Chains A and B, each alone.
Chain A
Amino acid sequence: MDSIIYLHDGSFEGLMHAVAAAVKSKEDVQGIYAEKEFSPRIFDTCIQIKTDSQQSLRLFEYLKKLKGNAARFAINGFLSEDLQVGIHLYWLVRQCLVYGAKATQLYTHDSIRHLDKLSQKVGSEAHRFTGLIRFRILEDGLQYGPFEPDCNVIGYCAQHFRERLKNQSWILHDIRRNHALYWDRDSLQSIDIDESFTSHVRQYGEIPESSLSEAERYYQKLWKSFHAAIANQERKNLNLQRQFLPQRYWKYLVEMR
């Protein structure tokens, strides 16, 4: 028998719409993917979804109304960029239709446990980066924070800093996805960052010399020496340090470079 596969445009709305359509079809759906992530095999029957935001909103509203974790599973599942998330959400919705909000706590169900894991992964990475982002303060006071998260957590991080640093202007820059958000003390917007600037940051983990002010160098140096001094040599444990702070996060950390 053919496997039925739903394909969408890769946006959150596209994903929601595809899941809604798949559930409604009452067929035995085998997969839900973003088009560009999927190459069909011989026996796949692919159904292309043309995103209709009305349809996706309907499902999302339903999940939100359920309370529990359903809406969070959907959003964080999407942000996790897990390739299989579509089919897991499909199963989540089907379980919710039977059990209601309780279904999100059905840890014995593989899809739900997986969504819970993804959701936690996104949540904890977002939380982690609220600590790990390092701002470089430019001459004019603008703060620039480059980082490379595994999941797409820039939105969560921006939410954190618009509370904490709401009277400063700053830029968060996800170098991996080349996506930057700019807070001008009043509103948040997506902006494009100069390409040569970005590639310098990507290559060296630091902004170009010409943008590094005296003060910025001074405080970076102080921070590095503080970080070195605070470690207890008698209890030195680099493995433990690496366990908490995996090396893939070091690139933009002033103190680890």
Chain B
Amino acid sequence: MKTADKLKILADAAKYDASCSSSGSSRKAAPDGIGNAATSGICHSWAADGRCVSLLKILMSNECLYDCSYCLNRRSNTVQRATFTPEEVADLTINFYLRNYIEGLFLSSAVYASPDKTMADMVDVCRLLRNKHKFNGYIHLKVIPGAAKELVQQAGFLADRMSVNIELPSEASLQRLAPQKSRQGILTPMKQIGEDFTGFQLERKKSRNAPNFCPGGQTTQMIIGASAESDLQILNLTEKLYSKMSLKRVYYSAYIAVNDEPLLPALLTAPPLIREHRLYQADWLLRFYKYQSHEILSPAFPNLDERLDPKAAWALRNFDFFPIDINKASYEELLRIPGVGVTSARRIVTTRRIAAIREQDLKKIGLVLKRARFFMTINGKYLGDRSLSHHHLVSAMCKVEPPVAKKLLHGGRQLRLF
């Protein structure tokens, strides 16, 4: 089979992967090498689904031994199959990179032959790129669950970022939907990478010559909507993955019903895009706004409100915390106001140092007044409408949701028409 045909099949097979970010690693250009890894992600293009294209995202192979029920490439499906040679992948990567099509390579694979053979071929790709082509750009490797410890470690010395997919939010779902994979097979390499990452980082503090291990850290991904877990369960798991496994990012991927399978949502069910979007927003609150998962959701309300940004939902539930005065509140308090982001909160704090903020300054600072006004006062003055009942306030906040969410809600409806 020609490389071009393989590329079509194996790019197509990789497209259900959610993560595309190439940020977080920084690799200086070597004197005789090609490329570097930029700290802040660079998008090179946008695909027809509106997602950023930054990496050559392909599978090494889709000739899978396993039969995960949510996956298009499972053994029992009839699809076109292909497997790249390591040379082919390396050649594509370097040639795309030189032309500035991509930031680097994102290589994943179905399990062919055996987990070890698959992983070994993927490590080979990295070796060719790093040693033969002197490639210094970004490499993200998916770790094959069940691959030997040594292979995972070798991969870590070559890749910028690694990820082991957690796949589903609970062990029970994993057993049901991906019977050949085990929780253990996933968590063991995850732990190992985490330990090596911290270990070699410490070494490097002592000696400059210690090797760099997976400098961009590790991430994971889980499928949303293929199984019954609540958002609370998902966020709790996410929080643990950040704190216990020190993951850099957790990605969510709305399940696309590709297989006709009694265990799963019916074919043609629309992917839960809004839910995915809300989860990412909640994840954002965990990572950058110092929220905890139990603040965002509770056993009584275990699912995110699709109509509302989780931050607005929190503010509405904790309305007694407000209003907050813009000129007096601390940075952390400001961040809790819907419509105030990290940038505008920082601006408020710096501007205040020079002169108290006046009502007419608010828009200039960049806060979204139509959302913030219900939750703040400015020099004692409340800009919201005190006569609104809580119920009306909620619907007022739904109306002023940012455009992206509205578009998704709208797009979601369109999808369901099919």
Looking at A134, A223, A236, A255, the one whose CB has the most chain B CB atoms below 10 A away is A223
Q: Are A219 and B48 CB-contacts (below 8 A) given A168-B34, A229-B11, A230-B15? A: no
Question: Which residues of chain B (25-66) have a CB below 8 Å from chain A?
Answer: 29, 32-36, 38, 40, 42-54, 56-58
Confirm or deny: A108 has a beta carbon within 8 angstroms of a beta carbon on chain B: yes
Confirm or deny: A235 has a beta carbon within 8 angstroms of a beta carbon on chain B: yes
Confirm or deny: A200 has a beta carbon within 8 angstroms of a beta carbon on chain B: no
Check if A223 sits within 8 Å of B11, measured CB to CB. no
Check if B273 sits within 8 Å of A235, measured CB to CB. yes
CB < 8 Å neighbour of A229 from B15, B351, B361, B366: B15
Q: A131 vs B40: C-alpha distance in the bound complex, in angstroms?
A: 12
Residues of A with C-beta under 8 A to B57 = 230
Q: A143 vs B99: C-alpha distance in the bound complex, in angstroms?
A: 8
Residues of B with C-beta under 8 A to A225 = 4, 7-8, 11
Confirm or deny: B271 has a beta carbon within 8 angstroms of a beta carbon on chain A: yes
CB < 8 Å neighbour of B49 from A164, A237, A245: A237
Confirm or deny: B98 has a beta carbon within 8 angstroms of a beta carbon on chain A: yes
Residues of A with C-beta under 8 A to B43 = 128, 131, 244
Q: Are A145 and B100 CB-contacts (below 8 A) given A229-B15, A241-B48? A: yes
Check if B98 sits within 8 Å of A108, measured CB to CB. no
CB < 8 Å neighbour of A230 from B14, B34, B35, B36: B14
Check if A235 sits within 8 Å of B98, measured CB to CB. no
Question: Which residues of chain B (1-31) have a CB below 8 Å from chain A?
Answer: 3-4, 7-8, 11-12, 14-16, 29
Contact with B along A71-105 (1 / 0, CB 8 A): 00000000000000000000000000001001001
Check if A134 sits within 8 Å of B101, measured CB to CB. yes
Q: A105 vs B347: C-alpha distance in the bound complex, in angstroms?
A: 7
Q: A108 vs B407: C-alpha distance in the bound complex, in angstroms?
A: 32
Q: How many B residues touch the partner, as a band?
A: 35 or more
Check if B45 sits within 8 Å of A229, measured CB to CB. no
Q: A227 vs B48: C-alpha distance in the bound complex, in angstroms?
A: 9
Check if A164 sits within 8 Å of B48, measured CB to CB. no
Q: Are A230 and B92 CB-contacts (below 8 A) given A108-B357, A113-B364, A223-B101? A: no
Confirm or deny: B350 has a beta carbon within 8 angstroms of a beta carbon on chain A: yes
Confirm or deny: B179 has a beta carbon within 8 angstroms of a beta carbon on chain A: no
Question: Which residues of chain B (342-363) have a CB below 8 Å from chain A?
Answer: 347, 350-351, 353-355, 357-358, 361
Pairs of residues from A and B, 7 with the lowest C-beta to C-beta distance, nearest first:
A240-B50, A231-B48, A231-B47, A229-B11, A235-B49, A237-B50, A108-B361
Task: Please list 29 pairs of residues, one from A and one from B, whose beta carbons are closer than 8 Å in the complex, sorted by A's number.
Answer: A99-B354, A102-B350, A105-B354, A107-B351, A108-B358, A108-B365, A131-B103, A137-B98, A145-B100, A165-B35, A168-B34, A222-B3, A222-B96, A225-B11, A227-B53, A229-B12, A230-B12, A230-B53, A233-B49, A235-B51, A235-B256, A236-B48, A238-B48, A240-B50, A241-B47, A241-B48, A241-B49, A254-B99, A256-B45
Seed contacts A166-B29, A232-B15, A237-B49; 7 additional CB < 8 Å A-B pairs: A105-B350, A215-B95, A226-B56, A230-B14, A232-B51, A238-B50, A253-B45
